[in-house]
């Protein structure tokens, strides 16, 4: 990796193997495909409505542990089908993570480009904000904001969107400053392009691959944050359900009905693992300069 020439054109690192995908990456792609399919078709594939009660089959264990085919993954304390709740939780968690990742990328990149474009006071202000976010663990910040502004879903997504914005801002600013000093940016500027045209049409496409890799790093972190906050009861609120809130409610039945929390927990771990594996692989391919 260190031998790679410092060129803006992305070169494949020398150690990249050409023969097919590693098994972990294959698994990751398969799993994420499955999750996306489940999220998109949630209403079609879930056997019951996720709020439907089956009071005669409360705390029924999953199939293979004494359960019946009526509830493949068992039921919870109100007789709600765990599989159906899991499917809707996957949809909710993925929706939140996608939304928040996009918000973070757009906000961070915009601020970074602004800082690179105007330098001076704007840049100092952006850097001060970056310092500020680095000074508080995001979970603490999110806890304070959430509990005090209440729990609307929109606010929750926007709040999670602020996670990692400073990373995009820092990367975008650094790359845009160095890109601005290069021939192509100067050339379009000489042709009379406006500053924004230079930034958005010429600089941004050239730094996009690095930003996309950062998004694959932020995505699993946001899933973990969302599930952590929902676990604490401060994220997604009932009757809506997410992977974290399922684990949070299942915790009460840990000794009697561990299946309620084990299936969402497994989905969280497998999903974050898959996105991380895919992100690592992409990073090795696209941009060896990131750590």
Partner 1 sequence: MLRFLASRLLRALLTIGMVVTFAFVVLRLSGDPAQIIMGSEAPPEAVAAFRASWGLDQPLWVQYLRYFLAILEGDLGRSMRDGRPALDLVVERIPATLALTLPALLIKLGLGIPAGVTAALHRNSAIDRAVMLLAVAGFTMPSFVLGLLLVLVFAVQLGWLPSGGQEGWRHAILPVVTLGIGGAAALARFTRSAMLEVLGQPYIRTASAKGVPWRAVVSRHALPNAAIPTVTIIGFMVGSLIAGAVVVESVFSWPGVGRLLVVAVANRDLAVVQAILLLVAATMVTANVLVDLLYGALDPRLRAAPKGVR
Among 42, 94, 116, 268, binds partner 1 (CB under 8 A): 268
d(CA 80, CA 26): 34
Q: Cβ atoms within 10 A of the Cβ of 281, count? A: 18
For helices 82-118 and 120-135, give the axis angle rounded to 10 degrees: 150
How far apart CA 65 and CA 5 sit, in angstroms, is 57
291 belongs to the binding site for partner 1 (CB under 8 A): yes
Nearest-10 crossing angle of helices 204-231, 259-286 = 160
Q: Cβ–Cβ contacts within 10 Å for residue 135, how many?
A: 8
Q: Is 158 in the site for partner 1 (CB under 8 A)?
A: no
Interface residue with partner 1 among 51, 110, 151, 276 (CB under 8 A) is 276
155 binds partner 1 (CB under 8 A): no
User: Measured between alpha carbons, how far is 219 from 105 in angstroms, rounded to an integer?
Assistant: 10
Q: Is 2 in the site for partner 1 (CB under 8 A)?
A: yes
19 binds partner 1 (CB under 8 A): no
User: Can you tell me which of 8, 119, 137, 200 binds partner 1, judged by CB under 8 A?
Assistant: 137
Binding of residue 5 to partner 1 (CB under 8 A) = no
If the CB atoms of residues 141 and 188 are measured against partner 1, the closer one turns out to be 141
| Binding residue for partner 1, selected from 277, 278, 281, 287, defined by CB under 8 A | 277
Number of residues that bind partner 1 (CB under 8 A): 42
Burial of 280 (0-12, 13-18, 19+ CB in 10 A): middle
Task: Identify residues 218-247 at the interface with partner 1 (CB under 8 A).
Answer: 220, 224, 227-228, 231-232, 234, 244, 247
Q: Does 121 bind partner 1 (CB under 8 A)?
A: no
Residues 6 or more apart in contact with residue 71 via CB below 8 angstroms:
54, 57, 60, 62, 63, 81, 82, 83
- Which residues in this chain contact partner 1 in the complex, by CB under 8 A? 1-3, 128, 131-132, 134-137, 139-140, 143-149, 220, 224, 227-228, 231-232, 234, 244, 247-248, 251, 254-255, 258, 261, 265, 268-269, 272-273, 276-277, 291
């Amino acid at each position: 990796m260190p031998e790679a020439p410092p060129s803006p054109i992305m070169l494949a690192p020398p150690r990249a193997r050409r023969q097919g995908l590693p098994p972990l990456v294959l698994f990751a792609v398969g799993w994420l495909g499955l999750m996306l399919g489940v999220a998109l078709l949630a209403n079609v594939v879930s056997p019951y409505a996720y709020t439907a009660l089956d009071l005669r089959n409360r705390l029924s264990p999953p199939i293979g542990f004494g359960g019946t085919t009526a509830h493949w993954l068992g039921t919870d304390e109100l007789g709600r089908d765990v599989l159906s709740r899991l499917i809707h939780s996957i949809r909710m968690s993925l929706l939140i993570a996608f939304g928040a990742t996009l918000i973070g990328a757009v906000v961070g990149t915009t601020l970074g480009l602004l800082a690179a474009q105007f330098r001076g006071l704007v840049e100092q202000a952006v850097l001060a904000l970056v310092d500020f976010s680095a000074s508080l663990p995001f979970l603490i910040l999110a806890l304070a904001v959430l509990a005090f502004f209440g729990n609307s879903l929109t606010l929750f997504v926007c709040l999670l969107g602020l996670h990692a914005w400073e990373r995009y801002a820092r990367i975008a600013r650094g790359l845009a400053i160095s890109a601005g000093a290069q021939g192509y940016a100067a050339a379009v500027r000489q042709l009379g392009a406006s500053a924004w045209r230079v930034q958005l049409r010429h600089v941004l496409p050239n730094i996009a691959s690095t930003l996309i890799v950062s998004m694959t790093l932020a995505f699993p972190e946001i899933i973990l944050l969302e599930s952590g906050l929902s676990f604490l009861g401060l994220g997604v609120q009932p009757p809506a359900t997410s992977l974290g809130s399922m684990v949070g409610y299942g915790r009460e039945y840990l000794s009697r009905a561990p299946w309620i929390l084990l299936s969402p927990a497994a989905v969280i771990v497998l999903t974050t693992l898959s996105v991380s594996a895919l992100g690592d692989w992409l990073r090795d391919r696209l941009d060896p300069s990131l750590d």
